[in-house]
Chains A and B, each alone.
Chain A
Amino acid sequence: MTRTSTRIVTLLACAVLLLAGCSDGGGGADDGRITLRFQSLAWQDESVKANKELVREWNATHPDVRVEYVQGSWDSVHDQLLTSFEGGEAPDIIHDASDDLADFAYGGYLADLTELLPARLKSDIPHHSWETVTFGDGVYGVPFLQEPRVLIANATLLEKSGVRIPTPEHPWSWAEFRQVAKELSGDGTYGVAWPLKEPVSATLNLSLSTGGKLFHRGTDGKVTVRFEEGDQVVPRTVHDQVDTDRSASPTTLGSGGSDTLPGFFAGKYAMVPLGFSYRQQIEQQAPEGFDWQVLPAPAGADGLAQGVSPQTLSVAEDSPHKEEAAAFVDFLLQPDNMVRLALGDWMLPTGKQALKDPALHTTEHGWATGTALAAHLRSAPAQSVRGYAEWKDKVATPALQEYYSGAIGMDELRHRLEEDGNLVLARYQR
């Protein structure tokens, strides 16, 4: 072999060795200690800190069960988890949201927590929250953080208009809300800006307040869509505000919540319906002296009821240490710890004990208003409906977008949601 060819072979060998030599080997030190991987989706600075601190505290008091903090991302969690489950490499403890769990629960990837969780935790979280994580006969996650949709209002404009300020005890009705939005409009200001980039979940969740149900389960267990009077109040209000009263901005219908904030801060919109956690962003970005306040969403025949998909903690079915993983979940969701997590994420805890914490009853940043809404939060209506994702993307989203923009009327909206929608759902329920 010539000198040059020897060099080439050596280079190739080095490359192979580099590959093989740098590998983890996939194992760990076998010293009898258990290591659990906790994948958290916390992303805001305060929230990441709270999660990491709790992991540190657990590790300090549980030398035999070490928890490793793994940072995940909301942006890609479903694909990443799916691959990890398929490959048998999923984290032991999984942070996600209840509306993302159905596929994983039915697919057998998540452990049924019914027998693993202590009675304390089971009784601390209300029944309607457990409903969000119950699929079939099993419980596949612990719902621990949730956020209602609230109205974030420009307090100065509100005060100037002289309208009645709603409270959780005396909220606006939907009709009153429509009237107030009209009164707040004018001089280049819209009474409200609806950020409806995702129109389906917003509409369905708020429609619980007016007795909306939309998905009806028959005695045979099959689900059908019926767009009845209770389902129509919220969409009709939004439609009329945009197209009849001109009290809602038509340009924000395709926007996300953050996109409406510059206009809100500039006084272009008097109110913006947003998730409770948006307060953090508002606090951070609002111009100095900007006065804002949190109002409850309007109430209907069913009061302040709203659908939510809480954040959840689950245990992987493949985890060899399910009991230890459940014990860590229990630690993380002790009332005091749940409060720390809630404050870090600017959300509400689900736990009854945690909700009593004084920090969540202060009027600063609207905490008290949000906390008062906790008892009215219900499982998002579509959560356990198989085929919902396709119904939402192919039928409901375009239909609602066209309705809100005035391109179609209520009859056509109903036709599409019911006729087209039931065809989609039927394929999943054969």
Chain B
Amino acid sequence: MRTSTAARTGQYAALLAYLVFLAFPFVWLISIAFKPPRELASLHPTWIPENPTLDNFRQAFDEQPLLQAGLNSLLAALGAAVIAVLIATPMAYVMARRRGRLAKAATGWVVVSQAFPFVLLIIPLFLVLKNLGLINSVPGLVMVYVVWSLPFALWMLAGYVRAVPRELEEAAAVDGAGRLRTLVSVTAPLLAPGIVATALFAFITAWNEFFFALVLLKTPEKQTLPVILTHFIGAGGVADLGPLAAAAFLATLPSLVVFALIQRRITGGMLAGAVKS
């Protein structure tokens, strides 16, 4: 069936409108980040700053330990991504390949665990981490992020595993390979794109997370970027808008870059195994 030119034009127009809708907050953020205070309070704001300035960035770095916070965020996000993938890969393999009650129960638990709101978990979690001496430490936060991202990582990786033809593993078994050897030498290489996508998903989740970091990290030198950003907001919600926008813009960049790199793989991961070939 051929699509008429008018229909196609309409589709593109709708797509463009949607893109503008999505991009608006980010473009506006960039615009604010480069505006001096007087332009921020203009009744007729402009998209492009009339007197662009880097003062907001300078002030943001002067007032808050942004570099340290960025490093903490990076450590937490990388740690969470690596550990989540190491744990999720063999588990996802079992969930996808085994058909017993245990696999079904595990899959069910993964779904149920997504239903717990984090406000319900935070105080018990705080007490557990306190007993482990992991309050106010990035490793403690990494542990939380691993647990938090595991269910979705498992679900995502299981989809990739299901997409790997069973026959390849059977052929490896015929050649004498055990379960572990098959997983490592046959399945894992085929899963590589999925593993990367899952790791990056865990990375972005941890990079953007706010509430756990707020509660678990006490001192500025340990805090992550999302927590540090709130320091630009004062009593009654009054914000130091320029420096806040500048810092938020910088904080957004890494996850934007990462997401741009992996978004096709993430979509692939979610759809993998959805349709029988």
Contact A83 B123, beta carbon cutoff 8 Å: yes
* With A8-B184, A71-B220 as contacts: A23 and B238 at CB distance below 8 Å: no
Chain A 277-304 interface residues, beta-carbon cutoff 8 Å to B: 277-278, 281, 284-288
Q: How far is the CA of A310 from the CA of B38 in the complex (A)?
A: 30
* With A74-B233, A256-B236 as contacts: A263 and B43 at CB distance below 8 Å: yes
Which residues of A sit under 8 angstroms from B215, Cβ to Cβ? Answer: 79-80, 83-84
Smallest CB gap from B64: residue in A: A71
Contact B219 A75, beta carbon cutoff 8 Å: no
Q: How far is the CA of A89 from the CA of B62 in the complex (A)?
A: 29
* With A4-B181, A19-B143, A265-B41 as contacts: A74 and B235 at CB distance below 8 Å: yes
Contact A75 B233, beta carbon cutoff 8 Å: yes
Which residues of B sit under 8 angstroms from A73, Cβ to Cβ? Answer: 227, 230-231, 233
Contact B239 A48, beta carbon cutoff 8 Å: no
User: Which of A41, A44, A91 contacts B240, CB < 8 Å?
Assistant: A44
User: Interface residue tally of chain A, by bracket?
Assistant: 35 or more
Contact A262 B43, beta carbon cutoff 8 Å: yes
**Per-position 1/0 for A32-72, Cβ under 8 A of B:** 00000100010111001000000000000000000010110
Which residues of A sit under 8 angstroms from B239, Cβ to Cβ? Answer: 258
Interface: A266 (CB within 8 A): yes
Interface: A123 (CB within 8 A): no
Contact B135 A26, beta carbon cutoff 8 Å: yes
Stretch from A10-18, A158-166, A169-177, A204-212 that touches the partner = A10-18
Interface: B260 (CB within 8 A): no
From residue A397, how far is it (CB to closest CB) to chain B in Å?
15
Q: How far is the CA of A89 from the CA of B240 in the complex (A)?
A: 29
Which residues of B sit under 8 angstroms from A198, Cβ to Cβ? Answer: 236
User: Which of B137, B227, B232 contacts A43, CB < 8 Å?
Assistant: B232
Contact A80 B184, beta carbon cutoff 8 Å: no
Which residues of B sit under 8 angstroms from A30, Cβ to Cβ? Answer: none
Q: How far is the CA of A87 from the CA of B127 in the complex (A)?
A: 6
Smallest CB gap from A37: residue in B: B218
Q: Give the A-B contact count at a CB cut-off of 8 A.
A: 144
Which residues of A sit under 8 angstroms from B138, Cβ to Cβ? Answer: 22
Contact A262 B184, beta carbon cutoff 8 Å: no
Interface: B102 (CB within 8 A): no
**Per-position 1/0 for B221-257, Cβ under 8 A of A:** 0010001001111111111110000000000000000
Interface: B164 (CB within 8 A): no
Which residues of A sit under 8 angstroms from B63, Cβ to Cβ? Answer: 45, 48
From residue B200, how far is it (CB to closest CB) to chain A in Å?
18
Q: How far is the CA of A26 from the CA of B218 in the complex (A)?
A: 12
Interface: A25 (CB within 8 A): yes
User: Which of B42, B62, B139, B211 contacts A18, CB < 8 Å?
Assistant: B139
Which residues of B sit under 8 angstroms from A219, Cβ to Cβ? Answer: none
Contact A44 B137, beta carbon cutoff 8 Å: no
Interface: A24 (CB within 8 A): yes
* With A18-B79, A41-B235 as contacts: A89 and B218 at CB distance below 8 Å: yes
Interface: A138 (CB within 8 A): no
Q: How far is the CA of A43 from the CA of B62 in the complex (A)?
A: 13
Interface: B115 (CB within 8 A): no
**Max chain B Cβ within 10 angstroms of own Cβ: one of A5, A8, A43, A275:** A43
Q: How far is the CA of A45 from the CA of B231 in the complex (A)?
A: 11
From residue A263, how far is it (CB to closest CB) to chain B in Å?
6
Contact B123 A15, beta carbon cutoff 8 Å: no
Interface: B140 (CB within 8 A): yes
Which residues of A sit under 8 angstroms from B46, Cβ to Cβ? Answer: none
Which residues of B sit under 8 angstroms from A41, Cβ to Cβ? Answer: 235
From residue A89, how far is it (CB to closest CB) to chain B in Å?
6
User: Which of A11, A25, A68, A86 contacts B86, CB < 8 Å?
Assistant: A11
Q: How far is the CA of A86 from the CA of B240 in the complex (A)?
A: 31
From residue B260, how far is it (CB to closest CB) to chain A in Å?
28
Contact B86 A22, beta carbon cutoff 8 Å: no
User: Which of B130, B211, B214, B234 contacts A89, CB < 8 Å?
Assistant: B130
Interface: A234 (CB within 8 A): no
Chain B 95-152 interface residues, beta-carbon cutoff 8 Å to A: 122-123, 126-127, 130, 132-140, 142-143
Which residues of B sit under 8 angstroms from A285, Cβ to Cβ? Answer: 37-38, 40-41
Contact B214 A19, beta carbon cutoff 8 Å: no
Contact A257 B236, beta carbon cutoff 8 Å: yes
From residue B158, how far is it (CB to closest CB) to chain A in Å?
19
From residue B265, how far is it (CB to closest CB) to chain A in Å?
22
Contact B236 A275, beta carbon cutoff 8 Å: yes
Interface: B185 (CB within 8 A): yes
* With A22-B139, A258-B238 as contacts: A268 and B43 at CB distance below 8 Å: yes
Q: Can you list 14 A-B contacts (CB < 8 A)?
A: A18-B79, A26-B134, A43-B231, A45-B59, A45-B240, A48-B63, A71-B231, A79-B214, A80-B215, A83-B215, A88-B130, A198-B236, A258-B241, A266-B44
- Identify 4 new A-B residue pairs, CB closer than 8 A, beyond the known A15-B86, A24-B137, A80-B214: A15-B83, A23-B139, A268-B43, A277-B235
Instruction: Identify the B interface with A (CB < 8 A).
Output: 37-38, 40-45, 59, 62-64, 79, 82-83, 86, 122-123, 126-127, 130, 132-140, 142-143, 180-181, 184-185, 211, 214-215, 218-220, 223, 227, 230-241
The 10 closest A-B pairs by CB, nearest first: A285-B41, A266-B43, A26-B133, A73-B230, A87-B126, A262-B43, A43-B234, A19-B139, A22-B139, A83-B215
